């Protein structure tokens, strides 16, 4: 691919569905590998490190976790979304991202003594200074990764993410075996960031020009600023419940609530992240054609619904069984919290595709407004539910999510070719299939419960639910044809070997 093509997308607008299939294949496979690497590395490092080591890293997350949400300035989506962009514009954005990374790194260094004093842990000073390095390095990779996504080079992105993660894990395990303690976890992040920097610059031979200010970039900065502001208020909203429960009820209640929420959101995040990574660039290329935008959006939303709805329905009905399987009997007090949180978890997942439209249609000011309304409403709901314990907070979150969902969807779809019924129709088949699975799962549970232990009963009933759900989706609603078409298209992609993926000269 010539370097000029990095900034144009006309060659990508043909057969977007094929590119979506290829991108989805690479991204889902990479997500699966990363998840497996996470499981393996966690299991190994947990046997080599002490809980204290993880506690120190957790303390640094109070600061680094917050500043991390502004690390790209919202500019990665700006580059992906724009219909036309120039080498000079991307170069200027590159230097802006480098500056953001430098400012964040300096901020962490300056705050490190204060954080160490607050926690009464002097080791945090040097540790936070070390963890500022990935932010500095990351600023040099944002626009390269944005250009790769803009050109739908999902295979290259997958290779970069997997190799960099493996490099970080190998270094972490080596340091842990050499008794370096918490530094193993710190250097895992540093090495992963450094590996990403090397790989993106090798796979995308684009070199930024010297920065040259242009008034045209102001609209791009407003775009990114709106995304950052939404991320900040969303971060506050998503963490206020934990903070309030920990302050009012203490660590034990917070542990139940946070474990229930984490268990519920882990599979949902594993699904939404790869689909979003593919959907945003694909939809951006279709934004000029309302009918094509509507078709691709509804197909992607159908996929999200088909994957998320069974998780949420299963969590609602089999909450006790899921908690017993994954967390153990000692966590059974979290089951009702888990059940209550399944509703806001579903509405959060259902609203994820809506946020794609804010990005691809350059309506991030709508996204900002949504965040500024939702955050205070949710925090107020948490406060109202707080005197009634973690379950009260979970119930209040459920109510606020339901109250906000319809107005937010109506606001988001206003002026687009997509109607609310287009979104709701994507839920029909998964909901009916999930209802069939629930009926079968509960019937089997009542039959085997007298003969099997509680753990085996839970595994069997949930397994039957999953099997029936898949069978109904495939046989009754024609998803077999969709899957076969997907494989056929994937096979044709392998044979075609498009030249658009040639290395950049």
> What's residue 324's pLDDT?
83
Using a 10 angstrom Cβ sphere, with 0-12 exposed, 13-18 middle and 19 or more buried, the burial of residue 143 is: buried
Distance CA 44, CA 38 (A): 10
Query: Per mean pLDDT, which of 12-16, 63-67, 184-188, 266-270 is the most reliable?
Result: 184-188
Residue 210 pLDDT exceeds 70:
yes
Q: Is 29 helix (H, G, I), strand (E, B) or coil?
A: helix
Q: What is the pTM of this model?
A: 0.79
Q: Rounded to an integer, what distance in angstroms lies between the CA atom of residue 22 and that of residue 102?
A: 36
Q: Tell me the mean pLDDT in the region 216-235.
A: 86
Write out the two tokens for 262: 């984490």
pLDDT by residue (tens digit) across 99-120? 999 999 999 999 999 988 888 8
Assign residue 152 a region: left if phi > 0, alpha if psi is -120 to 50, beta otherwise? left
**Separation CA 337–CA 241 (nearest Å):** 13
pLDDT for position 83: 75
- Quote the percentage of the chain above a pLDDT of 90: 37
Q: Which two tokens stand for residue 127?
A: 């540790």
Q: Which helix (H) or strand (E) holds 450?
A: none
Has residue 497 got a pLDDT over 70?
no
Determine which of 74-78, 227-231, 475-479, 486-490 has the lowest per-residue pLDDT on average: 486-490
Out of 57-71, 392-406, 450-464, pick the least confident. 57-71
The helix/strand/coil state of 463 is helix
Question: What is the mean predicted confidence (pLDDT) over 389-399?
Answer: 95
CB of 106 closer than 8 Å to CB of 38: no
d(CA 342, CA 78): 32
State yes or no: pLDDT of 440 exceeds 50.
yes
Query: Percent of the chain having pLDDT more than 70?
Result: 89
Is 140 within 8 Å of 101 (Cβ atoms)? yes
Cβ pair 228, 72 in contact under 8 A: no
Q: How far apart are CA 326 and CA 308, in angstroms?
A: 19
């Amino acid at each position: 691919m010539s370097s000029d093509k990095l900034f144009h997308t006309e060659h990508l607008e043909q057969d977007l569905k094929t590119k979506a299939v290829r991108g989805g294949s690479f991204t889902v496979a990479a997500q699966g590998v990363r998840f497996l690497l996470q499981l393996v590395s966690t299991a190994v490092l947990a046997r080599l490190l002490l809980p204290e080591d993880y506690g120190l890293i957790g303390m640094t997350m109070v600061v680094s976790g917050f500043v991390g949400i502004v690390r790209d300035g919202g500019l990665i989506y700006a580059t992906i979304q724009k219909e036309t962009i120039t080498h000079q514009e991307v170069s200027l954005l590159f230097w802006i991202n480098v500056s953001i990374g430098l400012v964040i790194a300096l901020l962490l260094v300056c705050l490190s003594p204060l954080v160490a004093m607050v926690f009464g842990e002097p080791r945090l000073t040097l540790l936070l200074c070390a963890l500022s390095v990935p932010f500095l390095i990351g600023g040099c990779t944002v626009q390269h990764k944005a250009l790769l996504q803009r050109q739908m080079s999902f295979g290259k992105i997958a290779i970069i993410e997997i190799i960099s993660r493996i490099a970080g894990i190998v270094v972490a395990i080596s340091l842990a075996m050499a008794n370096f303690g918490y530094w193993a976890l710190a250097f895992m992040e540093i090495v992963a960031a450094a590996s990403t920097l090397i790989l993106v610059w090798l796979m995308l031979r684009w070199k930024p020009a010297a920065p040259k200010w242009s008034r045209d970039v102001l609209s791009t900065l407003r775009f990114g600023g709106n995304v950052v502001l939404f991320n900040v208020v969303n971060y506050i909203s998503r963490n206020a419940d934990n903070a309030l429960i920990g302050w009012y009820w203490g660590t034990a209640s917070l542990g139940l609530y946070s474990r229930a929420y984490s268990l519920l959101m882990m599979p949902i995040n594993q699904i939404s992240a790869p689909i979003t990574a593919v959907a945003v660039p694909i939809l951006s290329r279709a934004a000029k054609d309302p009918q094509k935008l509507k078709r691709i959006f509804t197909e992607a939303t159908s996929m999200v619904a088909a994957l998320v709805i069974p998780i949420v329905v299963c969590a609602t009905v089999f909450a006790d069984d899921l908690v017993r399987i994954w967390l153990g009997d000692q966590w059974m007090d979290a089951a009702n919290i888990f059940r209550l949180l399944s509703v806001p978890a579903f509405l959060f997942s259902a609203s994820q595709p809506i946020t794609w439209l804010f990005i691809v249609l350059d309506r991030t000011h709508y996204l900002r407004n949504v965040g500024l309304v939702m955050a205070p409403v949710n925090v107020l709901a948490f406060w109202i539910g707080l005197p009634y314990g973690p379950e009260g907070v979970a119930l209040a979150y459920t109510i606020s999510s339901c109250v906000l969902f319809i107005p937010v969807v109506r606001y988001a779809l206003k002026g687009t070719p997509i109607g609310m019924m287009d979104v709701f129709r994507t839920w029909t088949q998964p909901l009916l299939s999930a209802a069939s699975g629930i009926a079968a799962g509960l019937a089997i549970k009542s039959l085997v419960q007298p003969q099997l232990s509680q753990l085996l009963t839970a595994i069997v009933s949930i397994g039957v639910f999953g099997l029936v759900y898949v069978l109904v989706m495939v046989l009754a609603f024609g998803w077999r044809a969709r899957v076969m078409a997907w494989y056929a298209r994937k096979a044709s992609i392998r044979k075609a070997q498009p030249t658009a993926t040639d290395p950049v000269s």
